[in-house]
């Protein structure tokens, strides 16, 4: 498990989940690869940074001893994550290497669902599983679609990776995977030329004749970036890394690949050029509206017969093929909100392919108050330019009637851009969250202990920080805020029935049933393993959650829903802007 700057509590949860995996104990060794406590960092010239690294080093060593896992760091932070993984590869001895990001907690059956594939194929180097996330990405959170609409990454893990797998081209995604040590030794470890070491490593091993398998079942639960700025930072790294692979590895000419594999890898890298056509689609109407430049030669009738018909059929086919994974117009929205900042990032790596450096994505952030994102300004500028263009197109319709058919087409094109750009204003308007972590609904029998007495209870939902219970108290009076109680339950994993200490944060008594909200107070390694058992052990709950969201609204209903969403998010984004401008004026007067 490679780590860089993650919180101790986050690491404890993932390490505990890894220790809980169902596998013979003598054949399972868990390693924490700490790149935040290297000798280089502990001897940094900045005294404060050096002390922080030393404190982290000692704290995580103690945690690993308590958790029964191996702690490993290195001299210098060379080659980022790939270098850290290669250092772990050099010190470990297992035939198979399971890799988990610091926030990717595996389910109890992770190894049971993945390891057996290596028995039937000696040339298998990778078994990759999908990345499932407990929390919404910033787009989902700010638009409030997480509970009802498939996540953006489900298109990749639910459709694209399955398609790549058909042609033996499913690639390593950096985590939630098992790799073959023999294969990694043949390729001299994890590749580090690009900043997307995962895909690059898979490309090299596919070129050497090794095989991969994709298992389409969520077996880990991770965290997505909480803020829009972190989301853009993550996507910028992916885009730049893929451009580096395109530049330095160039899949069509990669020796050892089949024709299908060449096409698959080429498609995966070329996808990240989407900022260019998206930018053209955004600004092309403006050249006609403002400068009378002829962007296409067609009458209004020809546009309806050819272009509009093609667009309608294209969207109907998309909806038919994968409407349960991607709702209408959501791809356009995601591409637009990324394009504004990814375009300069992609151009930068094209001009200087060795310039990008690996940057760790912050995963344990939270947004406590509602605010505009620090990278929101370009979205408002573009939106107002499009509004001015709309007004200009109305003016041209009245004053240049002989161009009415073309002007109507371009105005409609610009109006579509306004709808998408308006919805993006809601995306960059960060919603404050009251809860520090996402809660997961479960139903699990337990006992709740307070003042030496035990009561029958049911756990209704859990998070990495706490749980909500229904306790059958039958007239008990010992429950009070800020008091310490205990939860006792039968673990899924091979752990003894133990008492998990909790602090009561709130309660509501209704007759003989008391609803209790509590916060975990872990005091030893076993407590962390009990928390992981509650939260992460059961993979079926992740499958059920995904399946429940995979409903297809249809093209017509989906389009109407997106129009309503855009109107609402446009007004919300403008409201955030007016509030921020009001605060700025008040601050200037003060």
Q: Which residues have a catalytic role annotated?
A: 35, 198
SS3 182: helix
Q: According to the 3-state scheme, what is the secondary structure of 35-65?
A: CCCCHHHHCCCCHHHHHHHHHHHHHHHHHHH
Q: What share of the chain is helix, strand, coil (3-state, %, to 5)?
A: 50, 15, 35
What is the rounded distance in angstroms from the CA atom of residue 339 to the CA atom of residue 342?
Answer: 5
Contact present, 181 and 97 (Cβ < 8 Å): yes
What is the rounded distance in angstroms from the CA atom of residue 30 to the CA atom of residue 263?
Answer: 37
Q: Name the helix (H) or strand (E) containing 414.
A: helix 404-427
What is the rounded distance in angstroms from the CA atom of residue 329 to the CA atom of residue 272?
Answer: 18
Please give the biggest Cα pair distance in the chain: 88
Q: Provide DSSP, 334-392.
A: HHHHHHHHHHHHHHHHHH-TT-----PPP-S----S-EE-TT-HHHHHHHHHHHHHHHH
What are the CA-CA distances from residue 10 to residues 45, 434, 510, 532 (Å)?
A: 28, 19, 35, 11
- What is the crossing angle of helices 259-270 and 197-207, to 10°? 170
Tell me the torsion sign for CA atoms 365, 366, 367, 368: negative
What is the rounded distance in angstroms from the CA atom of residue 382 to the CA atom of residue 421?
Answer: 8
Phi first, then psi: give them for residue 67, nearest 5 degrees. -85, -10
What is the rounded distance in angstroms from the CA atom of residue 481 to the CA atom of residue 205?
Answer: 57
Radius of gyration, alpha carbons of the chain: 27
Contact present, 119 and 29 (Cβ < 8 Å): no
Report the chain's terminal Cα–Cα distance, integer Å: 50
Q: Provide DSSP, 205-266.
A: HHHTT-EEEE--S--EEB---SSHHHHHHHHHHHHHHHHHHHHHT-GGG-TT--HHHHHHHH
Phi first, then psi: give them for residue 133, nearest 5 degrees. -120, 135
């Amino acid at each position: 498990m490679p780590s860089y700057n993650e919180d101790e509590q986050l690491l404890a949860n993932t390490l505990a989940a890894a220790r809980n995996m169902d596998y013979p104990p003598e054949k399972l060794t868990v390693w924490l690869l700490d790149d935040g406590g290297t000798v280089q960092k502990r001897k940094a010239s900045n005294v404060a940074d050096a002390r922080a690294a030393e404190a982290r080093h000692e704290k995580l060593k103690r945690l690993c001893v308590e958790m029964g896992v191996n702690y490993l760091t290195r001299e210098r932070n060379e080659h980022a994550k790939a270098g850290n993984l290669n250092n772990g590869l050099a010190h470990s001895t297992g035939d198979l290497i399971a890799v988990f990001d610091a926030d990717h907690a595996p389910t109890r059956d992770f190894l049971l669902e993945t390891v057996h594939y290596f028995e039937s194929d000696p040339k298998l180097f990778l078994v990759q599983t999908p990345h499932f996330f407990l929390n919404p990405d910033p787009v989902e959170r700010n638009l409030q679609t997480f509970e009802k609409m498939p996540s953006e990454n489900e298109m990749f893990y639910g459709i694209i990776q399955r398609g790549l797998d058909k042609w033996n081209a499913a690639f390593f995604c950096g985590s939630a995977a098992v790799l073959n040590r023999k294969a990694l030794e043949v390729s001299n470890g994890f590749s580090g030329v690009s900043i997307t070491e995962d895909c690059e490593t898979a490309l090299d091993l596919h070129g050497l004749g090794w095989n991969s398998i994709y298992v389409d079942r969520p077996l880990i639960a991770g965290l997505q970036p909480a803020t829009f700025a972190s989301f853009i930072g993550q996507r910028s790294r992916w885009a730049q890394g893929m451009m580096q692979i395109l530049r330095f590895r160039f899949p069509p000419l990669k020796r050892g690949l089949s024709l299908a594999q060449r096409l698959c890898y080429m498609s995966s890298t070329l996808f990240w050029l989407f900022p260019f056509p998206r930018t053209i689609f955004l600004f092309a109407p403006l050249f006609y509206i403002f400068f009378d430049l002829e962007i296409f030669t067609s009458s209004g009738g020809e546009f309806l017969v050819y272009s509009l018909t093609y667009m309608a059929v294209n969207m109907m086919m998309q909806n038919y093929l994968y409407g349960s994974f991607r709702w209408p117009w959501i791809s356009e929205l995601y591409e637009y909100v990324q394009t504004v900042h990814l375009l300069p990032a992609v151009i930068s790596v094209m001009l200087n392919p060795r310039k990008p450096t690996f940057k760790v994505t912050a995963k344990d952030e939270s947004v406590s108050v509602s605010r505009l994102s620090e990278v929101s300004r370009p979205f408002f500028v573009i939106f107002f330019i499009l509004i001015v263009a709309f007004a200009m197109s109305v003016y041209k319709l009245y004053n240049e009637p002989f161009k009415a058919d073309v002007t109507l087409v371009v105005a409609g094109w610009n109006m579509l851009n306004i709808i998408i750009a308006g919805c993006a204003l809601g995306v960059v308007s960060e919603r404050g969250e009251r809860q520090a972590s996402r809660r997961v609904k479960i139903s699990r029998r337990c006992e709740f202990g307070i003042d030496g007495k035990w009561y029958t209870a049911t756990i209704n939902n859990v998070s990495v920080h706490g749980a909500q219970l229904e306790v059958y108290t039958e007239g008990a009076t010992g429950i009070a805020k800020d008091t310490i109680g205990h939860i006792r339950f039968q673990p899924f994993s091979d752990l003894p029935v133990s008492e998990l200490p909790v602090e009561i944060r709130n309660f509501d008594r209704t007759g003989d049933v008391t609803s209790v909200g509590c916060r975990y107070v872990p005091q030893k390694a076993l407590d962390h393993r009990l928390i992981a058992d509650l939260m992460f052990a059961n993979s079926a709950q992740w499958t059920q959650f995904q399946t429940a969201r995979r409903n297809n609204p249809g093209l017509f209903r989906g389009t109407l829903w997106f129009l309503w969403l855009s109107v609402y998010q446009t007004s919300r984004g403008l409201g955030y802007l007016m509030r921020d401008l009001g605060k700025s004026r008040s601050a200037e007067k003060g």
